[in-house]
Structure 1
Amino acid sequence: MKKVAPPRARDLGLPLEGTPGKWNAITDVAGVEVGYCTLNSGDGPLKVGSGPVYTGVTAILPRGRQELPRPVWAGLYDLNGNGELTGSHWIEDAGYFISPICITNTHSVGMAHHATVGWMLEQHKDYFEQYHSWAMPVIAETYDGLLNDICGRHIKEEHVLAALDSATTGPVAEGNVGGGAGMQSYEFKGGTGTSSRVVEVQGTQYTVAALVQSNFGLRPEFSVCGVPVGQHITENAIITESSGHEQGSIVVIIATDAPLLPAQLKRLAKRGALGIGRTGTYGGHFSGDIMMAFSTANDIIMPPLGAEQPTSFNLECLNDAHCDTLYLATVQAVEESVLNAMIAAESVATIKPAGRVLEAIDHDALCRVMASYSRLRE
């Protein structure tokens, strides 16, 4: 029997703004593909190296699969830098990257990097073997030790390759999938979420979309469309009851087909912080809140070192005066991505502390709170 897809934020009647694309997902940006590998095994007390295992890998191919690797223009912003995103130095310097993006748990960045290099070498043999080309993958992470034997380092090369090989366009699974498997958000079960917005600038249609690995926030902060939901649904706030400090992170990947240069994309990435801020977070010290924005426009061939080089490239860029439309769409898409991650999630037993359950947000309880503030669509 085919598994029924979980509801999304809009299905519950939450009053979210903006017009989503066909799939309301990052794959609404033409060419972008997403794949997952999810690991779920074992139960009972934590035994490092044995489990329980609840983790995974999320892979994003910004231009899908092409014969030659092509640059993707990009910009970065970290609201709080307590996290990792490899390849960031080159993106800051040059404004582009040539690789997939993989997101996993904190202790598996090295394996994800190693495996992604191998995948790139296999996909583009001539590019790397005949010329002086080098692979610098973009790998990001968030911490899943609440639910997963993170110190057991269960992510292996084959898991990363499975995520990369499974990447496709179309609807994107959310919740307890891929790198988002072991995540929490506002002390509810978190995970992977995505959303998109279609906008028009001077008669031309563009898409802005986001995918998040959501693993941040404390319950009292949680807000939905301006409603202080976390102050009404207070049960089982595991972290607040213990340390009272955030112990997660969030990775925000923003994609667009609008022609933006790296400096403009850095500014777009900053709006990701406003998107997560709409859900209530103040950006705690122990949370790495890292945003990256990329554009699939200006698709050029950049020859490898040792090949004949063109004298220049011609690039199109949107007038900054029209970027406000994209900024608003970004904030809306990131906010909805976080909510989608939480609403699609399923409850999971915790291992640190043992014997508890990280509960998914109760949809009926959420709707009752929203209705009490007259904030549900009819």
Structure 2
Amino acid sequence: MALQKGRKNCITDVEGVLVGHKTLYEKINDEETICTGVTAILPHPGNLFYEKVHAACHVINGFGKTTGLIQIEELGLLESPIMLSNTLSIGPVVEGTVTYMMEQNKEIGDAAGTLNVVVGECNDGYLNSMRLQAVRPEHAIEAIKNASNRQVEQGAIGAGKGMICFGYKGGIGTASRIVTSANEKYTVGCLVLSNFGKGEDALFANFPKKKNPNSTDGSIMMIIATDAPVYDRQLKRLAKRTAAGLGRVGSHMDNGSGDIAIAFSTANQYSHNANSHLETIAYLRDDHKAMSQLFQAVVEATEEAIINSLKYAETTVGQFGRVIEKAPL
């Protein structure tokens, strides 16, 4: 039985989670068009550096250029917004995010140590004149400052402006599910940046064939948020289940595809400054029936988030007059 959707059916149904976009779209001349952007996901509205959240990541196929995953893998903590953009904009987005975080925290780089910024990407080079490197540090800062808990704008917006999915216009998509077990109620939200798939794959098997103009096999970033009390090992289990949702829509996780999931929990925040040398948390037992429902929630939310990235995107004109049509959904 399918699980209940959240009230907004998006990742911001998880209390405290914020999402912001900065979209860049400008025709420079007959050949060059800026068609890209930045999307920011904040686990909570407080100080992310001083109040970290438990997190994990899972690389399904590693053809990607993310930053910050090594430290998440090692420590199981997230201390920055999760930022999304295009492949050649990782550097400026890192710079902008570091600048924003240092303005919030004067001790970073000195008394408080350094900062681990997490940035993910997909290649929007068919529509976007990516070599212009139009995304600048200030655009990352704008995306963070634009973040809110409102219904998330989806489709060809923010980091999704130039993305292509199954040969149609893709981009940002999101969905959520509610898990109810005994007297407890938990929310799982997923946000994706979709840029993968061939027109003959499962989702569009009965539609006219559409050639995917991407020169590579495409990529997807999948961000999972939950308020369930789970820690990094369990969050990695959740992150792994995004592969099932990805497979449901027809992805083969091809050789040149970057299929990467990041999962975090807003429960049991981890203080940067603690007086005790011991840390105690309450977490969900692995054998509790809610855990399997959380897995189901991840699969369902990931699948629908991908579909929503297509459903809400609009036909877009990019560089060289290239046109990617809205999917027939």
* Counterpart in the other structure of 1:19: 4
Distance (whole Å) between structure 2 residues aligned to residue 359 and residue 173 of structure 1 = 19
Distance (whole Å) between structure 2 residues aligned to residue 68 and residue 94 of structure 1 = 14
Secondary structure in 1 aligned to 2:108?
helix
RMSD: 1.8
* Counterpart in the other structure of 1:249: 219
The alignment-based identity, stated in percent, is 39
Q: How high is the TM-score relative to the length of structure 1? A: 0.83
| Distance of aligned partners of 1:17 and 1:105 in 2 relative to their CA distance in 1, 3 Å threshold | same
Pick one of 313, 335, 341 that aligns with 2:303.
335
Q: Confirm or deny that 1:95 pairs with 2:76.
A: yes
Tell me by how many angstroms 1:45 deviates.
3.9
Distance (whole Å) between structure 1 residues aligned to residue 103 and residue 56 of structure 2 = 27
* Counterpart in the other structure of 1:82: 63
Secondary structure in 2 aligned to 1:320?
coil
Secondary structure in 2 aligned to 1:325?
helix
Deviations along 1:263-289, one digit per CA (max 9) or x if unpaired, are 111110000111111100111111100
The answer to whether the Cα contact below 8 Å between 1:29 and 1:256 also exists between their aligned partners in 2 is: yes
Amino acid at match of 1:197: R
Q: How high is the TM-score relative to the length of structure 2? A: 0.95
Distance (whole Å) between structure 2 residues aligned to residue 38 and residue 222 of structure 1 = 30
The answer to whether the Cα contact below 8 Å between 1:346 and 1:359 also exists between their aligned partners in 2 is: yes
* Counterpart in the other structure of 1:357: 323
* Counterpart in the other structure of 1:226: none
| Distance of aligned partners of 1:89 and 1:286 in 2 relative to their CA distance in 1, 3 Å threshold | same
* Counterpart in the other structure of 2:284: 318
Matched positions, count = 327
The answer to whether the Cα contact below 8 Å between 1:238 and 1:358 also exists between their aligned partners in 2 is: no
The answer to whether the Cα contact below 8 Å between 1:43 and 1:52 also exists between their aligned partners in 2 is: yes
Structure showing greater radius of gyration is 1
Deviations along 1:55-110, one digit per CA (max 9) or x if unpaired, are 00000111123386211111111111000221111111111121111000000001
Amino acid at match of 2:137: E
Secondary structure in 1 aligned to 2:282?
coil
Amino acid at match of 1:113: V
Deviations along 1:93-142, one digit per CA (max 9) or x if unpaired, are 111121111000000001100110010011122x4266132111111100
The answer to whether the Cα contact below 8 Å between 2:109 and 2:115 also exists between their aligned partners in 1 is: no
* Counterpart in the other structure of 1:265: 235
Task: Describe how 1:141-156 pairs up with structure 2 within 5 A.
Answer: 141-156=121-136
Tell me by how many angstroms 1:362 deviates.
2.4
Distance (whole Å) between structure 2 residues aligned to residue 33 and residue 222 of structure 1 = 32
Tell me by how many angstroms 1:232 deviates.
2.2
Pick one of 36, 41, 46 that aligns with 1:60.
41
Pick one of 160, 168, 183 that aligns with 1:203.
183
Distance (whole Å) between structure 2 residues aligned to residue 114 and residue 67 of structure 1 = 17
Tell me by how many angstroms 1:334 deviates.
0.4
* Counterpart in the other structure of 1:375: none
Secondary structure in 2 aligned to 1:92?
helix
* Counterpart in the other structure of 2:153: 173
The answer to whether the Cα contact below 8 Å between 1:186 and 1:222 also exists between their aligned partners in 2 is: no
The answer to whether the Cα contact below 8 Å between 1:69 and 1:99 also exists between their aligned partners in 2 is: no
Amino acid at match of 1:34: V
For structure 1, the 5+ residue unaligned runs are: 1-15, 224-229, 364-378
Deviations along 1:234-255, one digit per CA (max 9) or x if unpaired, are 2442439xx6x52x21000000
Distance (whole Å) between structure 2 residues aligned to residue 84 and residue 64 of structure 1 = 27
* Counterpart in the other structure of 2:89: 108
* Counterpart in the other structure of 1:120: 101
Tell me by how many angstroms 1:256 deviates.
0.3
Runs of 4+ in 1 over 6 A off after TM superposition: none
* Counterpart in the other structure of 2:116: 136
Secondary structure in 2 aligned to 1:314?
coil
Distance (whole Å) between structure 2 residues aligned to residue 162 and residue 27 of structure 1 = 19
* Counterpart in the other structure of 1:72: 53
Secondary structure in 2 aligned to 1:220?
coil
* Counterpart in the other structure of 2:14: 29
Pick one of 234, 252, 258 that aligns with 1:288.
258
